[in-house]
Amino acid sequence: MKICTTVQEMRQARATLGTVGFVPTMGFLHEGHLSLVRRARKENEAVIVSLFVNPIQFGSPDDLANYPRALERDIALLKEEGVACVFTPEAAEFYPQGFATQVDVGGVALELEGPSRPGHFAGVATVLTKFFNIVQPQRAYFGQKDAQQCAVVQRFVQDLNIPVEVITLPTWREDDGLAGSSRNSRLTGGERRRAPVLHQALCRARDLVQAGERRRAVLEGAMRDVLVKASLTEIDYVTVVNPETFQTQDMVPENALALLAVRLGAVRLIDNLPLG
Amino acid sequence: MKICTTVQEMRQARATLGTVGFVPTMGFLHEGHLSLVRRARKENEAVIVSLFVNPIQFGSPDDLANYPRALERDIALLKEEGVACVFTPEAAEFYPQGFATQVDVGGVALELEGPSRPGHFAGVATVLTKFFNIVQPQRAYFGQKDAQQCAVVQRFVQDLNIPVEVITLPTWREDDGLAGSSRNSRLTGGERRRAPVLHQALCRARDLVQAGERRRAVLEGAMRDVLVKASLTEIDYVTVVNPETFQTQDMVPENALALLAVRLGAVRLIDNLPLG
CB contact under 8 A, A109 and B100: yes
CA gap A187, B26 in Å, rounded: 56
Helix (H) or strand (E) holding A198, with range, is: helix A197-210
The confidence band for B136, taking pLDDT boundaries of 50, 70 and 90, is: very high
- Neighbouring residues of A202: CB distance < 8 A, sequence distance ≥ 6: A223, A258, A260, A271, A272, A273
Could you tell me the fold of the domain covering B182-274? Answer: Pantoate--beta-alanine Ligase; Chain: A,domain 2 (3.30.1300)
**Which residue type does A269 have?**
L
Helix (H) or strand (E) holding A25, with range, is: strand A20-25
Which chain B residues contact residue A163 at CB under 8 A? 11, 133, 136
* Separation in Å, CA of B60 to nearest CA in chain A: 22
Residue of A220, A217, A223, A218 whose CA lies nearest to A198: A223
Residue A264 pLDDT > 90? yes
The DSSP secondary structure of B241-253, one letter per residue, reads: E-TTT----SB--
Please indicate whether the domains covering B2-169 and B182-274 agree at the CATH topology level.
Answer: no
CB contact under 8 A, B104 and A102: yes
Residue A276 pLDDT > 90? no
Pairing state between β A2-4 and A85-87: parallel
Residue A45 pLDDT > 90? yes
pLDDT tens readout for residues A54-113: 999 999 999 999 999 999 999 999 999 999 999 999 999 999 999 999 999 999 999 999
- Phi, psi for residue B86 in degrees, rounded to 5: -110, 135
Contact with chain B for residue A105, Cβ under 8 A: yes
- Neighbouring residues of B6: CB distance < 8 A, sequence distance ≥ 6: B89, B90, B93
pLDDT for position B48: 98
Q: Residue range A129-151: average pLDDT?
A: 98
Burial B79-89 (b: 16+ CB within 10 A, else e): eebebbbbbbb
pLDDT tens readout for residues A4-14: 999 999 999 99
Q: According to the annotation, is B223 in a ligand binding site?
A: no
Minimum-distance CB partner of A161 among B98, B130, B159: B130
> Which active-site residues of A does the annotation give?
33
CA gap A142, B153 in Å, rounded: 30
Strand partners, A121: none
CA angle A131–A135–A137, rounded 5-degree value: 105
Test mutation, B133, B148, B155, B156, chain A, max A CBs within 10 A: B133
CA angle B62–B63–B66, rounded 5-degree value: 80
Burial of A230 from C-beta contacts in 10 A (0-12 / 13-18 / 19+): middle
Contact with chain A for residue B102, Cβ under 8 A: yes
CA distances from B169 to A136, A197, B141, B159, B181 (A): 29, 63, 7, 22, 14
Residue B26 pLDDT > 90? yes
Question: A2-169: which CATH number, 3.30.420.10, 3.40.50.620, 3.40.640.10, 1.10.3730.10?
Answer: 3.40.50.620
Q: According to the annotation, is B146 in a ligand binding site?
A: yes
pLDDT for position A160: 98
The confidence band for B198, taking pLDDT boundaries of 50, 70 and 90, is: very high
Could you tell me the fold of the domain covering A182-271? Answer: Pantoate--beta-alanine Ligase; Chain: A,domain 2 (3.30.1300)
CB contact under 8 A, B101 and A103: yes
Residue A165 pLDDT > 90? yes
pLDDT for position A164: 98
Average pLDDT of chain A, as a whole number: 97
User: Number of C-alpha atoms within 13 angstroms, CB side, residue B143?
Assistant: 25
Closest residue on chain A to B128 (Cα) = A160
Contact B67, B54 (CB under 8 A): no
* Separation in Å, CA of B133 to nearest CA in chain A: 6
- Phi, psi for residue A66 in degrees, rounded to 5: -90, -5
Pairing state between β B101-105 and B139-143: unpaired
The length of chain B in residues reads: 276
CA gap A184, A192 in Å, rounded: 7
CA gap B235, B40 in Å, rounded: 35
CA gap B157, B154 in Å, rounded: 5
Contact A213, A221 (CB under 8 A): no
Which chain B residues contact residue A127 at CB under 8 A? none
Strands in chain B per DSSP E: 2-4, 20-25, 46-51, 85-87, 101-105, 139-143, 165-169, 235-241, 257-264, 267-274
Strands in A73-164 per DSSP E: 85-87, 101-105, 139-143
Query: Within its chain, how far is the Cα of A8 from the centroid?
Result: 27
Q: Residue range B148-169: average pLDDT?
A: 98
Q: Where are the domains of chain A?
A: 2-169, 182-271
Burial of A25 from C-beta contacts in 10 A (0-12 / 13-18 / 19+): buried
Residue B276 pLDDT > 90? no
